Structure formats: structure tokens, C-alpha cells
Structure 1
Amino acid sequence: MKLKTNSLMLLTFLAFTFWGCGQGSQEQQQATQEQEAPKEESKKPISKPLVSHIYTADPSAHVFNDRIYIYPSHDIESNTAEDDEGGHFDMKDYRILSMDSIGGEVTEHGVALDIKDVPWAKRQMWAPDAAFKDGTYYLYFPVKDKQDIFRIGVATSTKPEGPFKAEKEPIKGSYSMDPAVFKDDDGTYYMYFGGIWGGQLQRWSGDNTYNPEAKNRTPEELAVLPRIAKLDASMKAFAEAPKEIKLVDESGNIFYEKDNDKRFFEAAWVHKYKGKYYFSYSTGDTHNICYAIGDNPYGPFTYKGIVLKPVQGWTNHHSIVEFKGKWYLFYHDTELSGKTHLRNVKVTELKYNEDGTIQTIEPYQ
């Protein structure tokens, strides 16, 4: 009986030993696999925030007087409750940045425009842009009016950093958000704008009629299109009614809402390279900065690919500018705060291929 008991104990010991070795081997193999496949959070950003004493986002970069000026949103913590339409992005002023060189010292110029000094404004000063003509600098900005409808305002200054003085009313016929002003070679200025969801573009029809009850489009419907309007000589008004811009695939077909890795969401920007017009934009809920190429400012623009892969934080917004013979992409992420509504502006070099396509940028490596 004792012999049988000892044998049973021995068999049990061997069984547990074999099982334990197997478990150890599996755990070791899993650990090895985890080491071989680096985690997303282990990747490092390719660039650092330009400033860290304030939060900045949505950078519109321009070269004025041989210096780079950046017109960003100024993110703040206002303790506004987060909602589905971006109510927690409750910005109240603009702070302009500038620098003499990429990688050089960055100057923050203080308050350029405060919401308190915009008579028609109610809340949410979102992504701005700027332009220069005949000795005057123009700051274009979206903000909700007293009826909580996004309009686009304009303010002027004799200096690129401001301070700016706002017009008493928004630009007549303007709506939605993310204005981007492009100067063509013939001296004509165009404004591109629009953003769906919280940016309200889905409430506006192609003939510029507002429907406050309009919903986001279903996956099987054609995607909402961005807008363009030529500016008149005053730079304070549209010279025409806003028009839709066709963003199309290689076959000339407009994207559907379900094509959310390619269709427009927000953050329009236009630049020119070797005679072609490059329309770049954010796909929003898929977080890419994409681009399309056209032969004139009105399009159509044919989709070509991705400029910037998704960044940390929910939003992705950019600008592209040439400076001293090189091209640069300005963008933002949430490296400093880790919070979607408290972002920081960055810059990295942008490169073209021989055929004019843009090399995709990975923001983390």
C-alpha cells in the first residue's frame, strides 16, 4: 500500500513538473513575442512641441517678412463639459507664434484677438488663418454667433502678430469653420472652409441654405463637400457665393460617407507645387491628413494619398508651407497633456516624390 502511494505521488509530481515546464515555456514565448512586437506607446514622436507654456493647435503657418508666423487655436481648460459636438473645445482668444528658422527660438506674441472684442461672437474660437495684402494683415476666424451658428469673421492689423481689430459683423454668407486663405499666382485670394459634425457643415446645402435639423449623412449617401469662395478686393467679403469642391477618386467619382478614410471631414488647406493645386484635409473620424491634386483653385481635386498618419488625440489638423527652399508640415498632437482638447503644435519636414506625390509622414517611430 505504501509502495502504491509513493508511486502515485511520484506520478503526480512528474505530471505537475511537466505541466509547469509547459506553462513556463508558453509564458516565455509570449514574453518574447511581446518584446519582438513593439507596443504603440513605445514609439517616440518625430518632433517636439514648439511651445509648452500654453496649449496650441490647428497651426496655419505663413512666411511674412522672411519669418514664419503660425496662427493656431489657443486651447484652454475651461471645465466645459465634453459633448459630441466639441463643446469642451471652448477657446476664447488667439495667440500667434513666430520664428526665424525651423528649430530656432519660438516667440509667443500674447493675445492677438480676444472673444470679448468680437461684438457678434458667443463662444468657441476655433482654427484661424491669416493673409497679407497691401500693408494689412488679415486674421480669419470661426466662432459661434449669438444663435450658436458658426460664422467666419475677419480682423485686421498692421503687424503680422497683431493685435487685430475685428469687424463688427462676420463675413456675409460665411458659415461653418476652419477657414484657409490661399493666394494664387495672379494675386487672387480664395477662402476654403468647412467641417462636419460639430463644425455644422452638414446643416448647409450645396446652395448655401441652412437647416438646423439636418443630420450627419448615412454611410450610403454622398459625402459632404468642402466649400470655396473668392475674396473680393477688400479681403473682408466674398466676391461670390460659396461653392462646393469636388473631391474625387481616380475615376472621377465623389466619395461616399462610408469612405471615411478618404472623404473630407475638416481642416482644409491649399498650397501650390510645380503648377498644381494641392488640397489637403483631415478625414476626422479616421484621423488621417490626406491630399488631392487639381488643375485650378476650384477643383475637382483627385485623391492621391496620406500626408500624415493619425496623431495622439482625437483631432488632426495641419498646414503646409515652403521656407528657404524646403517644405514643412505644421501639425499638432497631445504629447504635453494627453488630453484631446489640450494640444501642442509641432513641425516636421515634408518631402515630395519625383512625380509630385507627397511622402507619407509617420508621426511616431
Structure 2
Amino acid sequence: MRRSWPAVLAAVVLTLTVVSPSSAVNPIITTRYTADPAALVVGNTLYVYTGHDEAPAGGTNFVMRDWQVLSTTDATNWTQHGARLSLGDFPWAGADAWAAEVEPRNGRYYWYVSINGNGPGWMNIGVAVGDSPLGPFTDAIGGPLISDSTPNSSGLNIDPTVFVDDDGQAYLYWGSFWGVRAVRLNPDMISMNGPVITPQGVTNFWEAPWLFKRNGVYYLAYAANDAGCVSSSSFACIRYATASNPLGPWTHRGVVLDQVSSTTNHPAIIEFNGQWYMVYHTADAPGGGNFRRSVAVDRLFFNADGTMQKVAQTRGGGGPPSGTNHARTATAATSFVSAWENLAAVNDGFVPANSADRTRPVYGNWPQQGTQWVEYRWTNPVSVSRSAAYWFDDNQGIDLPASCQVQYWTGSAYANVPNQSACGVAANTFNVTTFSPVSTTRLRLNITARSGFSTGMLEWMALN
């Protein structure tokens, strides 16, 4: 696990805080713009510390003056705690409340922040400290921990990530403009223990490092903007490397998150309630943009060898629609199912994390192409007015379909359902198709594949 702290502290903090809850979709909140997330688990609560974008619509520069906190106990419903630290809390600060991260140590919480100081140089890293995950926080040093005057500092001193190893040694990583830097910290967490080093083997590093440990292996995720992972150098993907030592040397492993809708990106990877998550930001909120970003959270999966699977980005929720799901009492049939797939997967009640989710059996019809069908059969007629399909995409021979059509059994033949809405083919969500109610003993979904591909489903609902 990345970080944890006794549950009692979280419980005490939450009882003293007036909060505003919201239910999760991606972005996880849309009442304000949030960016550059950092994640921290304290007891049974996941905290996400974010920057706060305040640029006007059409703005062409960052306007960031404080840092916000969000929390959840189920990774679905989020509580907004508002601004818990601002530029005004640092007397030496000039502007630019950029990326930050909180790390616990000795019963206190240290908030490492990127700030444009009033003195020489541009961006600095300061530290605030508090006695709970929600503060209050105060300036711990009275000046920057890292600045342009720090020997071997980065080309741009931003995006701090701090990790405390099992032996109690703390490490700080930061940097931008292709300049990743690292240093050991003293137990006080506000002074350096030794020289700043340039870690080796960090391929195509641009900015936004995130350091964590799993099963004895150290992982370093970071933003990269090379041609191998983005459409132009204005955008960023998230690459990662592994090492047997927290200071490297590092071995590049690949891309864990593709380019998103905003030009910048900033990863946080955390284990919470037995699941791993990627926390990042996009421009997907209403009115969003490159300077009006919003935090998103998606599941992350590891392979047996410890490498990370690429995260499937979800948008707009993806949760199952409400209503009576008659599929749970139906017998499924199909024109074709692959020998290694399972038709029973379509009505087992599973809610997938994304279209690539193979944590449970899936239905697929590879190598068949063209139009295939899946249908539900009932002994007695049921009334149905909606269909909801969650498509399977294995990034290989099975892809999202080109189109689909819902039909019902009239008693003597199949007919298209009346007044059908568009049959959606989007990834990472339940695609709901509505139609005038029909009473039938069979409901069929005709699925037409994209050229050269087969199709599959993770779940298919038949709703009243």
C-alpha cells in the first residue's frame, strides 16, 4: 500500500468537518475545477489533494491560488472539503499554487507544494504541516525547501512527490523540463539528508513524478510528452519505471495512461480497499479546458509479473441504470461464442470497471465478423422498454461494435422494437437504448462488428 495512518484520526477529523458530498462520475466533481491530484489513504478514507484551476473561460494561463481536498470511503461518493491551504499561508509566496502532495510522518501531515516565490528564481517547493489530513496547515519552514539556489536543482522545481520507506527513510522526487531530481529527507521531513541526485534510467521524463512501492518493488510514474505516446508534444501520457532501490537506477516499463483531453497530466497511484486506482486530471468537466481541469479516478490492474496494465479511461460515470433487470431471470442464447469465453457472463449482474475488465468471465464471438446476436429467453412474457449493453474491448481481435439493433419476438417472428433510440457503442459505460414497451418471451440484440473485428459484451441488461 502507498500510505496509511490509523483510522481513528480520520474518524475524528470527519466528525469536525462541514462538507458537501457528491456522487462520483468522471470527472469526480464538476462544481469547481481541480487538477494535479495526489492521493493519501488514512484508515478507511481516501483523500485526494488537488490544485484549483480558476482561469476564466477561454483563459490562456493558469490561475491557481489554493489547494483543495476531496475524500471518499468507497471510491464512488466524494466529499468536498474546500480549500485547506493557500498562497496566503506562505508569507514568502508570490503566485502559482501548483502541484502538491501530502505525506504523514510521526503523527503529522506534511504538505509539499509548488510555489512561485517572491525571491530569486521561479518555482520553489515549500512545506506546510498539520496535525490531521485536513489541517489546519501552517508553513513549516518560513521559506522554500527546494529552490533555484539548491545545488543540482531541476530546470523547473515543481511537482513534489514524497515517499517514506519501510525503514523510515523519506525520499523527495520532483522536477520538470526533462529534469527529474531526488533527495533523501531527514526525519523532520523539512530538511535534506545528503545531496540532490539525478536518478538514472527515467526514460522520456517530462514532469509530475509519483513514487510508490508494491511487493518490494519501487515504481515511478511520471508525465512524458515524447512522440511514442502523444499526438503532439503539447500533450502528456503517463509512463512508468521500476527499481529495486528508491533512488534507482530505474528500468522503463511502458505507458500506463494514454494522452487525455487536457494537455497536461499528473498521476497518483494508490491502493484503497483492496483495489488499485489511477488518479489523474482531464478537461472533461463542462466548460473545461487546458487551464480548467478536473480530477478523474479509474481502476488500475497489475499483471502477475508486477507490470501495470494500461488504464482504461472512463467518462461520465458508467454505472448501471436503475430499474428491474429481467436479464437476471432469463436464459441467454447466441449465434456464436468463442470457446474460451462464456455466454453466462452477459447476465451475471457484474458491474465492470471498464471495457477491458477481465476480472470476471466475458462474452466474445471472435473470430466471427459481420453481424452476430445475443438474446434472452423467458418462460413467461416480460415487459421491457430499455436495453443496456456494456461492450467488451480486448484491444486485440474484439473491438467496440459499429452498430446494434434491439429486436423482440412477436410470437411468430423477430421484429425491431418500436421507436428505438440510438443503440450506443461507447466504451466504459452502460449504453442505454430506449423503446416503446413490448411484452415478449425473447429479446435479441443484433451486433454488427467493425471491419476486421469481432465483438463482445461484459453485461447486457433488459429493463422495464
TM-score by length of 1: 0.71
Q: What displacement does 1:233 show?
A: 1.2
- Letter aligned with residue 180 of structure 2: P
Query: After the TM superposition, which segments of 4 or more aligned residues of structure 1 sit over 6 Å from their partners?
Result: none
Aligned residues: 274
Q: What displacement does 1:113 show?
A: 1.2
| 1:247 and 2:162 matched | no
What is the match of residue 334 of structure 1?
Answer: 283
Larger % of helix: which? Answer: 1
Aligned to 2:97, the other structure's residue is in SS state coil
Aligned to 2:88, the other structure's residue is in SS state helix
What is the match of residue 94 of structure 1?
Answer: 67
What is the match of residue 207 of structure 2?
Answer: 266
- Letter aligned with residue 180 of structure 1: T
Name the stretch that deviates more: 270-279 or 171-180: 171-180
What is the match of residue 176 of structure 2?
Answer: 195
Q: What displacement does 1:195 show?
A: 1.1
- Letter aligned with residue 276 of structure 1: V
Q: Aligned partners of 1:345 and 1:171: how far apart in 2?
A: 27
Q: Is the 8 A contact 1:289 1:309 kept in 2?
A: yes
Aligned to 1:341, the other structure's residue is in SS state coil
- Letter aligned with residue 170 of structure 2: Y
2:220 counterpart (252, 272, 279)? 279
Q: Is the 8 A contact 2:298 2:312 kept in 1?
A: no
What is the match of residue 257 of structure 2?
Answer: 308
What is the match of residue 133 of structure 1?
Answer: 105
Name the stretch that deviates more: 151-160 or 173-182: 173-182
Instruction: Give runs of aligned pairs for residues 50-69 of structure 1, distance below 5 A.
Output: 50-69=28-47
Deviation per residue, 1:26-73 (Å, 9 max, x gap) = xxxxxxxxxxxxxxxxxxxx9511111111011100101221011111
Q: What displacement does 1:241 show?
A: 2.0
What is the match of residue 149 of structure 1?
Answer: 122
Q: Is the 8 A contact 2:212 2:218 kept in 1?
A: yes
Deviation per residue, 1:240-275 (Å, 9 max, x gap) = 221101125xxxxxx5xxxxxxx0000100111221
1:238 counterpart (189, 192, 215)? 192
Aligned to 2:98, the other structure's residue is in SS state coil
What is the match of residue 165 of structure 2?
Answer: 184
What is the match of residue 349 of structure 1?
Answer: 299
Identity %: 36
Q: Is the 8 A contact 2:278 2:311 kept in 1?
A: no
Q: Is the 8 A contact 1:122 1:148 kept in 2?
A: no
Q: What displacement does 1:78 show?
A: 5.7
RMSD: 1.9
What is the match of residue 292 of structure 1?
Answer: 241
Higher relative contact order (CA 8 A, sep 6+): 1
Q: Is the 8 A contact 1:136 1:156 kept in 2?
A: yes
Aligned to 1:116, the other structure's residue is in SS state helix
> Residue 81 and residue 343 in structure 1: after superposition, are their counterparts in 2 closer, same or farther (change >3 A)?
closer
Aligned to 1:128, the other structure's residue is in SS state strand
> Residue 353 and residue 150 in structure 1: after superposition, are their counterparts in 2 closer, same or farther (change >3 A)?
same
What is the match of residue 199 of structure 1?
Answer: none
Larger % of strand: which? Answer: 2
Q: Aligned partners of 2:294 and 2:113: how far apart in 1?
A: 19
Deviation per residue, 1:205-252 (Å, 9 max, x gap) = xxxxxxxxxxxxxxxxxxx3411111111111111221101125xxxx
Deviation per residue, 1:305-332 (Å, 9 max, x gap) = 1110011010111100011211111011
> Residue 312 and residue 225 in structure 1: after superposition, are their counterparts in 2 closer, same or farther (change >3 A)?
same
| 1:161 and 2:134 matched | yes
Q: Is the 8 A contact 1:50 1:345 kept in 2?
A: yes
5+ long unaligned stretches in structure 2: 1-23, 226-232, 315-426, 428-464
